[in-house]
Structure 1
């Protein structure tokens, strides 16, 4: 069968149907959990407290997801595809049970870590097993379907979370995920292959994962310090840990990112930096539901769907601008970053303006959130392409996996920094509507710096490539 002759029907025929559903549901489970948790977090805070740890839920979850995704190749080599996938499901299920029964924020954070680790395994294995399960002519279709599960999750996550949160049953929202886990465990036992990889199993970079996790956690710890000195010490410590990570990467053959990724003066290093900055800028979305509920009085369901506007704009923009010719790529990336900058400045400005009506403010908020998503989506496919083309020969597989790694790392640090900014902005002290409104201004205003720096780096990248 020629690659161009394949249709969606081929992906679901000849015994491929259940295999396709299994991998797609693995990604959907992980993605739905991301949006569901963001939607119900304000309700969780109301019941068990821990507002100062709000951003920790995302940071810890994403750090654990990074660890899970990095460990996935090693786990699949040792246990085989089916068992590795089922280990991911079981870990995720345990995390769901811990979260749904959490009496305090500390227990919830432990559950979120377990969820993240299991979800990271599922997320990475779902993509990795496409090459094992399907013939090559079906890879692009399978990859598109699995990636498309994020779009479905953008609607299912806020819907499930919002419905239960509005009725005072946020714990049951996690319970729904458990039903999906049981179903996925059953069908995976019938569809996924058992055979183990006979090639050499890649070792797990324990030291690098530890340094990465500790750096993100240190930023989160600095966010709850009562004085600026303690926060600065935490930030400096996190920076030192990242320096150690970079040093260990340069001296190691078992790397997280391709050669040249850590040198900003190189085109590859500049490209990764732009990706990280734009991803960090989108981290404001974790506080959008809380701001909407406290400041504007929206319901959990309504505020949950505000969150996904960035994701919707990102997806639609990526599809629309993905077919640009090479001579336009270097222009569209900085333009997209500028649109993100406008979105963040707009959110910041109208957070302090009390003159507009609720309806106008809501419409403008939706527009600005969409602009942030549209801005990153315009250049994202082309940034990924640059990573693949700029990576050294022989490191193609590492370049492919590094995209997810960089995105997850940037998200975890973005969440940690968002927690630091909002806590100092007054979200807990004085708290309430006044403190939350003040924190929103701090958050949107400070995060506007990320796309601004990205614009500067875009011109630096253009100059480096023209030499």
Structure 2
């Protein structure tokens, strides 16, 4: 925590009490039941916060199922691969601006703008007359989705009482898993009947309905009266890095993919160097201080999200190695997201500092182990009995994300009592998640190419390679636990 947060005479500013309720630090007290979060008092806020994250997550993969049908009508096959690239880069940009929107327009204004942008983008997607228009509208849709994803975590601090932060973070996190599961299924359903435009129209309706609820269910927050500066250099560096990663995911050839990933790593390093020295930054100042736990929390969240990238390729492996029909292969792949979402229901009930610390380390270790075992189970002409084993293994891998993600999210949100810095820390969760999914997808694409003509080798390269990267999350989680235990940057294990 920054010394700036404590050097003011008389303690924190009175405004802090308006935005951030006192943290409940009782390590043995059980978190409130889910019915309190989903009860009448907080249900509307929960729907808006979760709905914003959900529509963004669904639309990451929704278009992938719709594009073959759209291309047959619109043409523009050469732009096929850029559809997800444009959307993900737009999402990353918007998540980085979440704190600025909150400061300038407050909770309600920022959410209304986010839902309006997403709805307009979805409507233009639905009426697109060419692939070029569809790509531009996907970018607009991505901007709205990214803002909503960032707001989902950032507004938890003011929309829910502190004792519900863990439940709220679990709900927001679960929406990524549900979206990854539902996106391909919904897209495939509409594509099956040749109604790809209706899928985007349905997304617009959902966005409009949630937007209409905002003024009635969200608390209004104070807005900054002055001009809110934008960290232009940080935004350019990280946006360019996201673009390089996304391009690496669509170009052909291992060398080209590796070059794109290498450029992205250099730009990300430049981003960190600049942020450490600048007064205008995307992430809170706490992130870059020596002895800070927050940087390790973000790294662990990123490594957990990195593992989700394998879902893009699991349907391919299921079809080629086991002869599964496309629909069945897609549902097999969704076992990771299902495990992620379901596990969080129980994980968010865990209280106690020691138990939470263990879950933070266990989560990435279980994710890595699940992917490693899945790699060992890959075979040419895989027998059906072995295919059946894939489901619990992939579910267990996803459960690793669900065990740790909500507690890491609360650690980030609770890293500072300052409302502006706290909102920035919370919005950073969505930025890290979106960027890591994009980065992981590009790396997985490069690993597939390394397999050459052998689909079995490609599957093993992806699963073993991603498992090794995700396994590093256990080390970063341990570092976060150790740093907070030393008291250099104390944060509660949960409110």
TM-score normalized by the length of structure 1: 0.77
Q: 1:442 aligns with which of 461, 466, 471?
A: 461
Inter-CA distance 45–457: structure 2 relative to 1 (3 Å threshold): farther
Residue in 2 that maps onto 1:117: 143
Q: What is the CA–CA distance in structure 1 between the aligned matches of 2:292 and 2:156, rounded to whole Å? A: 33
CA distance in 2, matches of 1:187, 1:326: 36
Q: What is aligned with 1:272?
A: 298
Give the structure 2 partner of residue 421 of structure 1. Answer: 447
**1:171-190 correspondence runs (5 A):** 171-188=197-214
Distance 1:444 1:57, change over 3 A: farther
Is the counterpart of residue 64 in structure 1 residue 83 in structure 2? no
2:402 aligns with 377
How far apart in 2 are the matches of 1:461 and 1:195? 31
Structure 1 position 344 matched with structure 2 position 359: no
Matched residue, 1:170: 196
Q: Equivalents in 1 of 2:51, 2:477: separation in Å?
A: 37
Q: Is the partner of 1:448 in helix, strand or coil?
A: helix
SS in structure 2 at match of 1:442: helix
Who is 1:406 aligned against? 432
Gaps of 5+ in 1: 427-433
**Secondary structure of the equivalent of 2:341?**
helix
Q: How does 1:118-197 map to 2 (within 5 A)?
A: 118-128=144-154, 153=179, 156-188=182-214, 197=223
2 CA distance for matches of 1:111 and 1:437? 37
CA contact (8 A) 1:58 1:412 kept: no
Shift in Å, 1:245? 0.8
Aligned partner of residue 279 in structure 2, secondary structure: coil
* CA-atom RMSD in angstroms: 4.3
Partner of 1:317: 343
Corresponding residue number in structure 2 for 1:451 = 470
- Residues 297-351 of structure 1 show CA distances to partners (whole Å, capped at 9, x for unaligned) of 6555544433432222123333434425433555444443332223212332333
Whether the 8 Å CA contact 2:165–2:410 is kept in 1: the answer is no
Q: What's the CA shift string for 1:147-193, capped at 9, x where partnerless? A: 66557656654542232233343343223212323434555577668
- The one of 252, 260, 266 equivalent to 1:234 is 260
Change beyond 3 A, Cα 1:238–1:378: same
Q: TM-score, normalised by structure 2?
A: 0.73
Structure 1 residue 364 and structure 2 residue 383: aligned?
no
Change (3 A) 1:291 1:173: farther
Distance 1:194 1:259 in 2: 26
CA deviation vs aligned residue, 1:104-148 (integer Å, no higher than 9, x gap): 766554333222111122333455556666787887877776666
| 1:184-241 alpha-carbon deviations (Å, 9 max, x no partner) | 4555577668887255454222221221111121133344555555444433322221
Unaligned runs of 5+ in 2: 1-23, 25-30, 487-495
Change (3 A) 1:136 1:109: same
How many residues are matched? 454
